[in-house]
Amino acid sequence: SQTIHQWPATLVQPVGSPLSLECTVEGTSNPNLYWYRQAAGRGLQLLFYSVGIGQISSEVPQNLSASRPQDRQFILSSKKLLLSDSGFYLCAWSLAQAGGAEYFGPGTRLTVL
Amino acid sequence: GQQVMQIPQYQHVQEGEDFTTYCNSSTTLSNIQWYKQRPGGHPVFLIQLVKSGEVKKQKRLTFQFGEAKKNSSLHITATQTTDVGTYFCAPNSGGYQKVTFGTGTKLQVIP
């Protein structure tokens, strides 16, 4: 069966510090991968998605970036965090087909102080 | 582009009452998915509807896809406290590798 891992579960970072969140998927090959951000009590904002190694599509211009160095690894990064980067970051995967169901990881709660 | 409206935004019901959330799209959809997010948790995929007029049931949950494939609903019969959470629809217009999530309906069940 497929599983998705995200770490860390919680993170508190000062403004201006770098960020690296990692997501890995097990039990499937060539998945589509996604990064979402959810502000407290709000909806899901798609940040990035990837249909293959090294292929990243950005949905929202910001100071975040994503990379996919391996088939089942997706990394979200920032060089300098802003207060507005606080939120619940969710990684998800889906089978490589248009409109497939997305399966979410447990998420990382990021607080930028 | 595709615009998605999910209503209501919030709903408080007494335990045992029914609950319905609606998802409306400005464009014809290829399919629509529904997800549930418990407080403090991550969204969990519930179901996908593909066919015009499709109705699917999962225990006390009934999912419908409109005949015109522009709207969908999720109905919960006799709510329980375990139903608490936010329900998101995720319509897909086809031809994309991603879905667009609705704004969600937050359900609170009063015991």
- The CATH number of the domain holding residue B85 is 2.60.40.10
Query: Average pLDDT for residues A16-41, to the nearest whole number?
Result: 93
DSSP assignment string, A37-76: EE-TT---EEEEEEEETTEEEESS-SSEEEEEEETTEEEE
pLDDT in tens, A43-82: 899 999 999 999 999 888 689 999 999 999 999 999 999 9
CA dihedral (A24, A25, A26, A28) positive or negative = negative
What pLDDT, on the 0 to 100 scale, is given for residue B53? 97
Reported as a pLDDT band with limits 50, 70 and 90, residue A42 is confident
| Number of domain units in chain B | 1
What pLDDT, on the 0 to 100 scale, is given for residue A97? 66
Which residues in A have their CB inside 8 Å of a CB on B? Answer: 32, 34, 41, 43-44, 46, 49, 51, 90, 92, 94, 96, 98-99, 101-107
Q: State the architecture of A3-96+104-112 in CATH terms.
A: Sandwich (2.60)
What pLDDT, on the 0 to 100 scale, is given for residue A110? 97
Q: What residue numbers bound the domain in which B72 lies?
A: 4-110
Q: Which residues on chain A are in Cβ contact (under 8 Å) with B103?
A: 43
pLDDT over 60 at B1, yes or no: no
For A84, phi then psi, to 5°, come to -70, -5
Residue A109 CA, chain-centre distance (Å), reads 12
Domain range summary for chain A, segments of one domain joined by +: 3-96+104-112
